[in-house]
Structure 1
Amino acid sequence: MNSLDGIVHGLAIAATPTHLLYTLIGVFIGTLISHLPGIGPSAGIALLIPVTFGMDPTTALMMLTGIYYGCMYGGAVTAILLNTPGDAAAVMTVLDGYPLARKGRAAATLAIAAVSSFIAGMIGVTALSFVAAPLAAFALHFGPAEYFALICFALSTVSALTGKSLAKGMLAVFLGLGLATVGIDLQSGVARFTLGFVQLQDRVNFLVVVVGLFAIAEVSRMVEGALGGTLHTVKVDGKLWFTRAEWRRARPAIFRGSFVGFLCGAAPGLGGTLSAMLSYVLEKKLSKHPEEFGHGAIEGVAAPEAATNADTCGAFVHLLALGVPGSGATAVIMGAFIMYGMQPGPMLFHTQPDLVWGLIASMYIGNIMLLVLNLPLVGILSRILYIPPRVLLCVILVIASTGVYSFNNDTFDLFLALFFGVVGYVFRKFDIPKAPLLFGLILGHTLEQSFRQALTISNGDPTTFLRSPIAATLLGCAAVSIAASLWSRRKEMVALSNELRDRVPDHQLADEPR
């Protein structure tokens, strides 16, 4: 059965009333889960696997898959409205989504996020249907050296997120990389930098850091504004729908983000965080108005949202074509496959074609369902900003605290989130960007492990990173990216110096002491 015949056959299976009902249940539950920081798709799927006992395997897997991309679909809501990303992938959406909401464009921002997710989801499923096997075969060429080079390249692009000061941005990156070393060393089994706390042996929880840096820091801003009398209720301005000008700016970003997201999803272990980051950086590099990013650029919402949703489709490339999970959520779904006595992989297309093509086709239908579910809620959700600031402050604290505590059921995480809340407040006061710290924390562990694994395999030979054509190319791209960033900063400083010199009269410059 070729891809086109498979899609048609799968649509006939997915369109049965039972399958439609459970697909709808899955995407609805996934959307609800995405609004609660801390649960995430992996935990949500794992919690609901026992509910599927005794169900038809195709029906159960359609529902569990719907939870996965439903979580990715709705993750933008708390990021845009409450400055609280529900998972790592939503961090990039916060950077421009929340500033747009503060400008009264919350409804339009939610709408563009929903449309971006829908388009990227449809593109991703189509790509999954036609290029799954070839792309999976290429991704198998990635070993430790290639992953190390890829992450180096990703971190080299962080300069686009550092704001006006490259030094402050790099400080945040290295703080994140330092936090990534906390915990048990996988090679030696020794606890590192835990300060005697047993809870830190399992590494610093990303959710705790995100909630502290964004949610609790936002609460501190609101308290400060309330005491100073500068905090006011945000009103939704203009139309609930995005304008034609916003759509013209967002449209190319959606397609580029979909492409980047699917490629990152097809490479196992990268996840939606890296795809969102790379798509955001790409848009800022290509934008005619890069100064708007971080202050409310619509492309800064459309691109990462598209990348995150296309990434979920890319993650199924390895699961279905090779039987290798491409993310944490697909690893849980693979467990459900095995529970039903099926082994994902190339033979699954021959032994269970109804299940495979029905599952892929259900993703088309699920994306349409999510668009229908989310767009009518845009106006209702945007009214959250009408809540009095003091009440909204309590809502943010309750959501953040519940998400942090539910992860490990440990009050230590609450105190750690409070600590990072103080860090976030200090970062805001000194204008230090938060995103580079988070990406240092997210990518630091994989960077270290890939580096050590590559050296172990090569018996300590550092040239192993140059002998691989893929790794050497990526490291070269990283070097070019760093050089370009330094050159652009130097040009900005020279231009600023010349502008200041033009504004100061010549006789004043002559009178200044050398």
Structure 2
Amino acid sequence: MDSSLVMIGLTNVLSFNNIACILGGTLLGLFVGAMPGLSATMALALLLPLTFSFDPATGLSMLASLYVGASYGGSIAAILLRTPGTPSAAATVLDGFPLSQQGRAGEALGVSLFASFFGGLMSGIALLTAAPLLGTLVLEFGPVELFAIAVLGITIIGSLAQGSVISGLLSGGLGLLLSTVGMDLTTGTPRMTFDQINLFGGIDFTVALIGLFSVPQALTLIENSHQGGKVASRITDRLMPRWSTIKQLMPNILRSSGIGIVVGLIPGTGGDTASWFAYNEAKRFAKDKSRFGKGEVAGVAAPEAANNAVVGGALIPTIALGIPGSSSTAILLGALMVQGILPGPNLLTDYGDVTYTLIWAVILANIALLVVGLAFTKMSVSVTKIPDGFIACAILTLCIIGAFAINNSLFDVGLMLGFGLFGYWMSKAGVSPAPMVIGLILGPVMETSFQQSMLIGNDSFGVFLESPIATVLLILALLSILQATPFFRWLRVPFKRRLKPD
């Protein structure tokens, strides 16, 4: 770990502008997370165009804090409305809403806030420690290894996406195809531009991002707007949990935070998987399992600690290897691309100052979450009552403004709406847009490194087998596809039967 870069990152994040952006981003994330139907990914996609004029450190700090704030904010609607504000808050509903019905909504939100704080802080420390250790491997990485990393990133996220492995890989492959639109990176030849001058520079990553993640959610909210008003539980008790409660929950919080960090390391899993895993473990370790589902504070602490711990865990492969651990971290990589920083293992070396600023911003954002959460959680109850139709109109307006502001082009607005309609169709078909976004990010890296590898190997594919690192990565990519095929599932069933006692 380069201590000078660590201190530069800390100095950057402690500037007045960055601290103000972290507090503002955390507050915005808290409100976005509290709105049922919205997600951190959608909010990041909408906020990304606003950070174009910012310094890279300031823009990344604001995006990271919004990510952290929205991860906790989802529990507000889950506890008060029995409706998860974000998908990762679904497990919080099981015990959070019964607690609010018992007049203990403040206690549930307070436990959720402190568990989120501890989980996020632990993952931030893990990120600060683990990412540089993995980053030392970058000295061994050349074009051949970079190509293998890009292939692994596509296959892992494609195979772990919602639905079948085929649909996930199809989505990722489509993203790779779209990344080739524009001028060839080596020869300068136009490809798939259809004589449209606006496509000669390729498809703008941010335009596609806004369309794929924001427009479908707005259309879904319009669909559900006829379901009537929302009635939230009132907070009548104290928000600050007692020290005895925190002390009693601490083993559960530490265990759940560890689960969140480990799950976050696996690209494509996300906070919802970690939350259910942590909830199940909390119930398994509990002395009285019958209390779960009826208003047990441990059932709130476990998923919330794991949910926020995923943030730092997902950023470890994102920063160390350039493989986004989730759709939200893919947008953070997109923010780096907007600033002219290409994703890949060189983030910690060539752009160490910006990367360490992002790491420190995650840690500081969790401290800001505790402060902002205590001050504004009660106020955010009113946010949960905003009609879905109004939210949808606001989202669509921000989508159009954001897409136009990128290049001051109406063509980009039309392209964004086209991606939005396609993303809405994908959501109805059960196909995740996340692999497509990963394909758009990793496509240029894969193409450039492949061409360079072919030059190194004199147009021989054997060059990928001459590098031990590339060989291992490509084998892992192959296994990630095969493990989800029907044949491997058929093999696992007899194996599991052999393990069962007679």
- TM-score category, normalised to shorter length: 0.5 to 0.7
| Structure 1 residue 93 displacement after superposition | 0.9
| Structure 1 residue 316 displacement after superposition | 1.0
Relative distance call for 1:402 and 1:274 in structure 2 (3 A) is: farther
Alignment of 1:230-269 (within 5 A): 236-237=236-237, 239-269=238-268
Relative distance call for 1:351 and 1:185 in structure 2 (3 A) is: closer
- State the partner residue of 1:302: 301
TM-score by length of 1: 0.61
SS of the equivalent of 1:49 reads helix
| Structure 1 residue 456 displacement after superposition | 12
CA distance in structure 1 between the partners assigned to 2:498 and 2:236 by the alignment: 44
CA distance in structure 2 between the partners assigned to 1:478 and 1:68 by the alignment: 42
Relative distance call for 1:397 and 1:24 in structure 2 (3 A) is: closer
User: Higher mean Cα deviation, 28-37 or 265-274?
Assistant: 28-37
CA distance in structure 1 between the partners assigned to 2:263 and 2:308 by the alignment: 11
| Structure 1 residue 397 displacement after superposition | 6.8
Q: Is it true that 1:41 corresponds to 2:32 in the alignment?
A: no
CA distance in structure 2 between the partners assigned to 1:365 and 1:149 by the alignment: 33
| Structure 1 residue 291 displacement after superposition | 1.0
Relative distance call for 1:108 and 1:478 in structure 2 (3 A) is: farther
CA distance in structure 2 between the partners assigned to 1:476 and 1:133 by the alignment: 39
Tell whether the 8 Å contact from 2:256 to 2:278 is kept in structure 1 after alignment.
Answer: yes
Tell whether the 8 Å contact from 2:263 to 2:269 is kept in structure 1 after alignment.
Answer: yes
Relative distance call for 1:70 and 1:464 in structure 2 (3 A) is: same
Alignment of 1:128-139 (within 5 A): 128-132=127-131
CA distance in structure 2 between the partners assigned to 1:119 and 1:326 by the alignment: 21
Residue identity opposite 1:323 in structure 2: G
Alignment of 1:421-440 (within 5 A): none
| Structure 1 residue 295 displacement after superposition | 0.8
Residue identity opposite 2:280 in structure 1: V
1:7-65 alpha-carbon deviations (Å, 9 max, x no partner): 43321221112222222222222122112223322221221222222221121111112
CA distance in structure 1 between the partners assigned to 2:51 and 2:484 by the alignment: 48
Relative distance call for 1:91 and 1:17 in structure 2 (3 A) is: same
1:126-152 alpha-carbon deviations (Å, 9 max, x no partner): 111112366799xx898999999999x
CA distance in structure 1 between the partners assigned to 2:94 and 2:132 by the alignment: 35
Relative distance call for 1:400 and 1:460 in structure 2 (3 A) is: closer
Q: Is it true that 1:82 corresponds to 2:90 in the alignment?
A: no
| Structure 1 residue 280 displacement after superposition | 0.6
CA distance in structure 2 between the partners assigned to 1:254 and 1:120 by the alignment: 7
- State the partner residue of 1:16: 15
- State the partner residue of 2:325: 326
Paired residues in the alignment total 379
SS of the equivalent of 2:92 reads helix
- State the partner residue of 2:374: 375
Tell whether the 8 Å contact from 2:13 to 2:19 is kept in structure 1 after alignment.
Answer: yes
- State the partner residue of 2:145: none
SS of the equivalent of 1:367 reads helix
CA distance in structure 2 between the partners assigned to 1:277 and 1:460 by the alignment: 21
Tell whether the 8 Å contact from 2:95 to 2:292 is kept in structure 1 after alignment.
Answer: yes
Relative distance call for 1:244 and 1:64 in structure 2 (3 A) is: closer
Question: Larger Rg: 1 or 2?
Answer: 1
Tell whether the 8 Å contact from 1:35 to 1:77 is kept in structure 2 after alignment.
Answer: yes
Relative distance call for 1:79 and 1:181 in structure 2 (3 A) is: farther
- State the partner residue of 1:438: none
Relative distance call for 1:265 and 1:294 in structure 2 (3 A) is: same
| Structure 1 residue 249 displacement after superposition | 3.6
- State the partner residue of 2:288: 289
1:394-440 alpha-carbon deviations (Å, 9 max, x no partner): x867545555787789xxxxxxxxxxxxxxxxxxxxxxxxxxxxxxx
**Once superposed, what is the RMSD of the aligned Cα atoms?**
4.9
CA distance in structure 2 between the partners assigned to 1:67 and 1:349 by the alignment: 23
- State the partner residue of 2:56: 57
- State the partner residue of 2:365: 366
1:377-407 alpha-carbon deviations (Å, 9 max, x no partner): 35x359x5xxxxxxx9xx8675455557877
1:333-387 alpha-carbon deviations (Å, 9 max, x no partner): 2112111110122212111111111111122222111111111335x359x5xxx
CA distance in structure 1 between the partners assigned to 2:48 and 2:319 by the alignment: 19
SS of the equivalent of 1:92 reads coil
- State the partner residue of 2:270: 271
Residue identity opposite 1:253 in structure 2: N
SS of the equivalent of 1:13 reads helix
> What is the percent sequence identity of the aligned residues?
30
Tell whether the 8 Å contact from 1:25 to 1:63 is kept in structure 2 after alignment.
Answer: yes
Tell whether the 8 Å contact from 1:7 to 1:360 is kept in structure 2 after alignment.
Answer: no
SS of the equivalent of 2:91 reads helix
Residue identity opposite 1:259 in structure 2: G
TM-score by length of 2: 0.62
CA distance in structure 1 between the partners assigned to 2:57 and 2:107 by the alignment: 37
1:450-476 alpha-carbon deviations (Å, 9 max, x no partner): xxx989966998664699xxxx7x997
Q: Is it true that 1:102 corresponds to 2:96 in the alignment?
A: no
Residue identity opposite 2:107 in structure 1: A
1:289-343 alpha-carbon deviations (Å, 9 max, x no partner): 1111111111111111111111011111122111121111111221121111101
Tell whether the 8 Å contact from 1:37 to 1:403 is kept in structure 2 after alignment.
Answer: no
Relative distance call for 1:459 and 1:290 in structure 2 (3 A) is: closer
| Structure 1 residue 177 displacement after superposition | 8.1
| Structure 1 residue 248 displacement after superposition | 3.7
- Please list every run of 5 or more consecutive structure 2 residues that lacks an aligned counterpart in the other structure: 138-148, 175-212, 398-426, 436-476
Relative distance call for 1:318 and 1:466 in structure 2 (3 A) is: farther
